[in-house]
Amino acid sequence: MSTTSQHDAGPLGAIKIAPSILACDFARLNDHIDEVGEESDWLHVDVMDGHFVPNISIGPPVVASLRKHTNAFLDCHLMITDPADYLEAFANAGASSVTLHVEIGDLTDTIALARRLGMRVGVAANPDTGFEMIAPYLPLVDLVLCMTVFPGFGGQSFMPEVLPKIAQVRAAIDARSYACELEVDGGIDLATTAAVVEAGATVLVAGSAIFGAVDPKGAAAALRAKAL
C-alpha cells in the first residue's frame, strides 16, 4: 500500500496550487500533468458518484493510473454519499488525502478509518453549509475545503458570498493553531484569487483557469503570483 508519507504535501500554510484534473482530457492525463510541471503543488482529483452530485467522474482506477506516473500529492475530493465503502480502494490506489463532505452525516468514524489507512483527511462544505457544520472537525483533520461553487461541474462562477465563511474557518484554525490547510475550490482564477487568499485560503484548486489555458504552466504560475 502506498502511504501519505511518500507524497510531499509541502509546508503547512504555504500557498499551494492544486490543478483540478476534471478540466483535463481524460485520455491525455499524463500529458496535461506534465504540462503544468513543477507549478503544480498538489493534483486535485474530483470523484463524483452521480448521487451526492448530479455528475459522474472518476474513481480509484484513475488514481492508480496517475500514481504510476507521478509522486505528486493526490488530493482526492470525494463528492460521494458513501465514502467509507471506498476508502480502502483509494488508499490502495495511492491517494494522498481524501476529503469528505460534511453534508453526508457524521464523519468521525470515516475520518479515523482514512487515517488508519495511511491517508491524510479533510472535510468539505458546500457554499450554503454553515461554519457550525465544519467546526467540530477542526481538531481532527488536515484540511478544510470551502466550496466556492456548488460541486458537480467545472467552469462555474465563483460565489463571493462564501468569503466570510472562509475567513471564519481561518480565524478558528489560527485561534487554536490547528495543523490544517484551508482549501478553496470552484471558479478560482486571476480575478478571484486575491480575495480568497485575503480571506485565509492556502490551497487554491483551479480547473478551467489552468487546463483551459493555452499555457497551463504559465496559468498556474500566474495564479501563484497573484496569491503571494
Chain residues in the site for ligand DX5 (CB under 6 A): 20, 22-23, 44, 46, 77, 149, 151-156, 185-188, 205-209
Amino acid occupying residue 2:
S
Amino acid occupying residue 102:
V
Query: Does residue 82 carry a catalytic annotation?
Result: no
For the bound state, the minimum distance from the C-beta of residue 128 to ligand DX5, rounded and expressed in Å, comes to: 14
The CB-nearest residue to ligand DX5 is 207
Query: Does residue 106 carry a catalytic annotation?
Result: no
Q: Of 56 and 171, which CB lies nearer to Zn ion in the complex structure?
A: 56
For the bound state, the minimum distance from the C-beta of residue 37 to ligand DX5, rounded and expressed in Å, comes to: 19
* Residue 207 binding partner per list ligand DX5, Zn ion, none, with a CB distance cut-off of 5 to 8 Å that depends on partner kind: ligand DX5
* Residue 216 binding partner per list Zn ion, ligand DX5, none, with a CB distance cut-off of 5 to 8 Å that depends on partner kind: none
Do the beta carbons of residue 125 and residue 133 sit within 8 Å?
yes
Backbone Cα Rg of the chain: 16
Q: Of 46 and 142, which CB lies nearer to ligand DX5 in the complex structure?
A: 46
For the bound state, the minimum distance from the C-beta of residue 177 to Zn ion, rounded and expressed in Å, comes to: 27
Query: What SS3 state is found at 75?
Result: strand
Q: Of 46 and 178, which CB lies nearer to ligand DX5 in the complex structure?
A: 46
Long-range contacts of 119-124 (CB under 8 A, 24+ apart): 119/4, 119/87, 119/90, 119/91, 119/95, 120/4, 120/9, 120/96, 121/97, 122/97, 122/98, 122/181, 122/183, 123/99, 124/77, 124/79, 124/99, 124/100, 124/151, 124/185
Q: Of 41 and 185, which CB lies nearer to Zn ion in the complex structure?
A: 185
Count CB-CB contacts under 10 A for residue 173.
Answer: 19
Residue from 41, 46, 75, 189 carrying the catalytic annotation: 46
Residue from 75, 142, 185, 189 carrying the catalytic annotation: 185
Which grid cell sits at 227?
496569491
